[in-house]
Every structure is written in C-alpha cells, then in structure tokens.
Amino acid sequence: MANFWEIKALSELTQSEWEQLCDGCAKCCLLKVEDEETGIIYGTNVVCQYLNIEKCQCENYSQRSVLVPECVTLNSDNLEQVYFMPSSCSYRLLAEGKPLPEWHPLITHRKESVHESGHSIRGKVISELEADDLQHHLTGEWE
C-alpha cells in the first residue's frame, strides 16, 4: 500500500497525517537573525525559551502563537510559510516535491531515529534564556 505522504498533497492530509509528518527535529524553534542591510537570514544555535531541549518538544504548545508571535503555526491554509522552515523540514520537503529522508520516523517507525541520525537540535543548542548576544551564536545562512 502506498504511503499517505507519497500520494496526497499537503492540503489533503488529515490532522493525524499532518502531525505524523513532523519529524520532531525542533529546528523550527531555533532563533534566527536578519541582517537589516542585506535581508539575509542567519540561523543560530539558540532555541526558543519554551522548548524542552532534551525532549525536543514545546512546553507551551497550545499558547505558542500568543507567547511567541513569530512562532509559525504551519497548517494547510498557510503553506506559503513553509519556506520559513529549515530545508530538512518534512513539510518543506514535500512542498518542494522531495521525498522524506531515510531517518524520518515515518520511514524508520522509530521516533528516536531523528535524534540518533543527528538531524535534531538535541545536544547542539542552548536556550535563549542562557544566551547573550545572538550575534555570537550565528551558524550560517538559514537554508
């Protein structure tokens, strides 16, 4: 039987399918910095204060858009926002007509595979509550 993400458009997914698509990487919770002169956006190794870094889960999920206005709540009605997501984000990959990576939990049937493969933020970031100037934490141009 074909996999739902291979035969359905993002706009056709059920809520359950939509949620299963998230790989749990938490890269979308990384803080970004925009160069005001060039408009170029840079990533950092600093994450939102509401992220549980060990679990890679938001601790205020239901309140996230109130607490953090720039937190993008992606859904089928605002798919143009998918380009604010990292290039490895499952929603962005599918929007670009690309397959899910081999480490994706839907492929491996194991949630931990995103962490074991090194594709999550676990072990690589600090909270914004601990960070000083974000300019000291730039990791390169946001892709």
| Other Cβ atoms within 10 Å of 86 Cβ, number | 17
Q: What residue spans of 1-143 are helical by DSSP H?
A: 4-7, 15-21, 64-67, 90-95, 105-108, 113-116
Closest CA to 121 of 36, 7, 48, 25: 25
Is residue 71 involved in binding ligand SF4 (CB under 6 A)? Answer: yes
- What distances in angstroms separate CA 107 from CA 90, 92, 141, one per listed residue? 12, 17, 29
Is residue 90 involved in binding ligand SF4 (CB under 6 A)? Answer: yes
Closest CA to 97 of 82, 109, 111: 82
Pick one of 46, 58, 94, 125: the residue that binds ligand SF4 (CB under 6 A).
Answer: 58
Identify which range of 3-11, 46-54, 105-113, 126-134 contacts ligand SF4 by CB under 6 A: 46-54
Identify which range of 3-11, 18-26, 95-103, 105-113 contacts ligand SF4 by CB under 6 A: 18-26
Identify which range of 6-14, 17-25, 34-42, 124-132 contacts ligand SF4 by CB under 6 A: 17-25
- What distances in angstroms separate CA 25 from CA 38, 113, 131, one per listed residue? 28, 10, 21
Is residue 32 involved in binding ligand SF4 (CB under 6 A)? Answer: no
Pick one of 68, 95, 106, 131: the residue that binds ligand SF4 (CB under 6 A).
Answer: 68
Is residue 105 involved in binding ligand SF4 (CB under 6 A)? Answer: no
With H, G, I as helix, E, B as strand and everything else as coil, classify residue 30. strand
Binding site for ligand SF4 (CB under 6 A): 22-29, 48, 50-51, 58, 60, 64, 67-68, 71, 85-86, 89-91
